[in-house]
Amino acid sequence: MGQFIDDYINYIKRVKHSSENTISSYKRDLVKMEQYFKSKNITNLSEVNATDLTTYIEYLQGLGMSTATVSRSVASIKSFFIFLFKNKIVEDDCAEGLKAPKIEKKPPETLTISEINLLLEQPNTATNKGIRDKAMLELLYATGLRVTELISLKLDDINLTLGYIICKDDSKERVIPIENAAKSALNNYLKNVREGICGKSDYLFTNMKGEQMTRQGFWKLIKSYAKRAGIDKDITPHMIRHSFASHLVLNGADLRAVQEMLGHSDISTTQVYLNSRQSKLKQEYDKAHPRAKMA
């Protein structure tokens, strides 16, 4: 079974050009499935049937795994068995009818606008590091980039004159406008400190040694500034992305435009921010309407 998992992972890497996150997640899911079936003395894929797969998913749920994690495991397994069936490794696609648990789409946790402003004020712009950090945080909130996208930006991906960046995601790319505060912070960074930090690197941002910044490095950066700001939330780079989208929708931005800026392939993914807006409007209604509290 392990060899076929390796073949499949090689396929999604070289043919499907899946992201590194998808590749590592799918491999982890399938190895976990393999270990489960080994514990049941099932080592041959031809022995696995639809009931076995359903039982395995129920086993994952019994471990207390989140609905999102179980759903991703279902997606991994279904994709794996399609690969096996198309390559005639198995006679039937026994994962075809496998159902993922329904994920309740809750509004994501975000920062308030005042918390965002407080966070963005923390870098000490009297230092080179502070100027760089200010530019990174301002750009993150201005565009809603994923942290991997932010640290992967190249110098050629930014156009301050016209006020936009180009974000490349696998084979796709999207153009995202930059607001004035981010443009100002980036201009200061590019003119005054970038060359001294990055040297000849093509990356827009690097660590202070001139090497490409890691996700973990930027994560720590945000955590340190959140602590300094006294914000009592478990802030992550993705929370800034959520805040960007939520604040745009809350202020009346078109949902399709937000979808395009975030790079969502499905509008339903973006609609979670609409739910957040409706919840906020309901709160304001209940607070302000003179008859809202009447029995």
Give me the domain span that covers residue 50.
2-86
Is 233 among the domain residues? Answer: yes
Whether 99 is in a domain gets the answer no
Q: Identify whether the C-beta of residue 111 lies closer than 8 Å to the C-beta of residue 231.
A: yes
Residues 214 and 149 reside in one and the same domain: yes
Q: Is residue 295 part of a domain?
A: no
pLDDT at 288: 54
Q: Rounded distance, CA 285 to CA 276, Å?
A: 14
Q: What is the pLDDT of residue 256?
A: 85
Question: Is 22 inside any structural domain?
Answer: yes
Residue for token pair 């080179």: 128
Per-residue confidence (pLDDT) for residue 282, from 0 to 100: 52
193 pLDDT more than 80: yes
46 vs 48: CA distance, rounded Å: 6
pLDDT of residue 263: 81
Regarding whether 164 and 54 lie in a shared domain, the answer is no
Question: pTM for the full model?
Answer: 0.61
Kindly report the CATH number assigned to the domain that includes residue 54.
1.10.150.130
pLDDT tens by residue, 89-135: 998 899 999 988 876 666 678 899 999 999 999 999 999 999 999 99
Q: Report phi then psi at 173, rounded to 5.
A: -145, 150
Count of CB atoms situated within 10 Å of the CB of 258: 21
- Pick the range with the lowest mean pLDDT from 73-77, 110-114, 135-139, 165-169: 165-169
Q: Are residues 132 and 261 in the same domain?
A: yes
List, for residues 216-275, the tens digit of each pLDDT value.
999 999 999 999 999 988 898 889 998 988 888 888 888 888 888 888 877 777 777 776
Cα dist from 248 to 139, 145, 238, 254, whole Å: 15, 14, 16, 8
- Range with the largest mean pLDDT of 19-23, 119-123, 281-285: 119-123
Per-residue buried b or exposed e for 99-136, using 16+ beta carbons within 10 Å of the residue's own CB: ebbeeeeebbebbeeebbebbbebbebeeeeebbbbbb
* Closest C-alpha among 67, 97, 96 to residue 84: 96
> Is the Cβ–Cβ distance between 5 and 80 less than 8 Å?
yes
Greatest Cα-to-Cα distance within the chain, rounded to the nearest angstrom = 68
Q: Is 218 contained in some domain?
A: yes
Please check whether residues 177 and 74 belong to one and the same domain. Answer: no
**Number of domains present in the structure of the chain:** 2
